[in-house]
Amino acid sequence: MSVALGTTRPLPVRTTSVGDPGDLLASLPRTAPFAWIRHGEGLVGWGEAARVTVPPGPRRFAWARQWLADVLGDARIEDAVKTPGSGPVAFGTFTFDEDVPGSTLIVPRTILARRDGRAWLTTVGEPGLQPFTPVRTPGRIRYSDGSLTAPEWEAVVARAARRIRAGELEKVVLARDLLATAERPIDIRLLLDRLSRRYPECYTFSVAGLVGATPELLVRRTGKHIESLVLAGTTPRGTSAADDLARGTALFASEKDRHEHECAIASVRQTLAPLCSSLHTPDEPELLVLPNVQHLASHVTGRLADGASVLDVVAAMHPTAAVGGTPTGTAIEVIRELEGMDRAGYAGPVGWIDAHGDGEWGIALRSAVVDGNRARLFAGGGIMGNSDPSSELAEAQAKFRVMQYALEG
């Protein structure tokens, strides 16, 4: 369903430079906030000038791009800033599985942004008034099992590992969910504030009830230049500096984790090469150290051959081996068979796109779907033939702590 608010006349859009707004998240009203923040920079938005639920299927990204072109093609845009993210912007979230409904694009009525020492405000149509209310904590949080109990999920991991050892596939990424119920309605602004402060290296996001802080940049497009950060291979942080160093060293030397990372890099290289006139992938990963875990990480850069939209690149890359598996088609079928749940937007693309096709999209990891006083948390990990179910469960539990901290403080 598509909704364009206001009259049938072309949308008036106006972007002007503003002084430093300070904390971007502090500007958000309570109702349906949008956010994409890293190190205090990025975009926040509120209100809805246009919204669409994207039909599921293999052409959903192309459909979304055409919808955006239709909505913004006749817009009367006054843009005094002229930089990626100025002018009208659509925030989006796509379900992990292309056959599952729920993918959404929204053009906010008001967008406030800051990047590289510049700040700007964009209004689309008549911005209207959004009542600002104080941020309130959700109170006591109760947790309960999601689709599977911990022992049931360990059994699923064991089944997947047996199928990998049998040669059916090389790797599959399995996720699990955890349900949280709060005393009071959950204020998304509180989650965003806690996540952005504790995980500044991550991309803190909020789109259509999906909230989180992902370390994984799927793609950034600026003109013809693209960037991607590939993460695969994870270990929890240590209990001391020495333990932390030992865990990082062991991760870097782990045959299982290095192979998992190589699968992810090969997947990105294979999907981006046809779109790029040049592409660089590093020979060795580096360690990305976050407050709760350490990852093997590789920074990929390239130059688009034909100026494809960021959504075209997202369409080519999703799902990556880092969130699906290898080979991807087989891994997706194994996920559908074994996982026992609907991932919704978890591990799907989340981010923003402007009217010029520039944008930033991450993979919605370390996230939750928030609805009233309930939240559904997600976490997962890459399963290989020698994966130990109890270790994989511990890794997933470590990843749950990101959103548990956001809820509890």
Q: Give the residue numbers annotated as catalytic, written as ranges.
A: 171, 216
Burial of 188 (0-12, 13-18, 19+ CB in 10 A): buried
Tell me how far apart the alpha carbons of residues 263 and 321 are, in angstroms, rounded to a whole number: 6
Write the CB contacts of 240 (distance below 8 Å, at least 6 apart in sequence).
none
Give yes or no for a contact between 1 and 52, defined as CB atoms under 8 angstroms apart.
yes
- The type of residue at 147 is S
Phi, psi of 255 (to 5 degrees): -60, -40
DSSP state of 24: G
* Distance, C-alpha 393 to centroid of its chain: 22
Bond before 327 cis per omega within 30 degrees: yes
Bond before 274 cis per omega within 30 degrees: no
Write the CB contacts of 66 (distance below 8 Å, at least 6 apart in sequence).
none
Tell me how far apart the alpha carbons of residues 36 and 217 are, in angstroms, rounded to a whole number: 12
CA angle 312/318/324 to nearest 5° reads 175
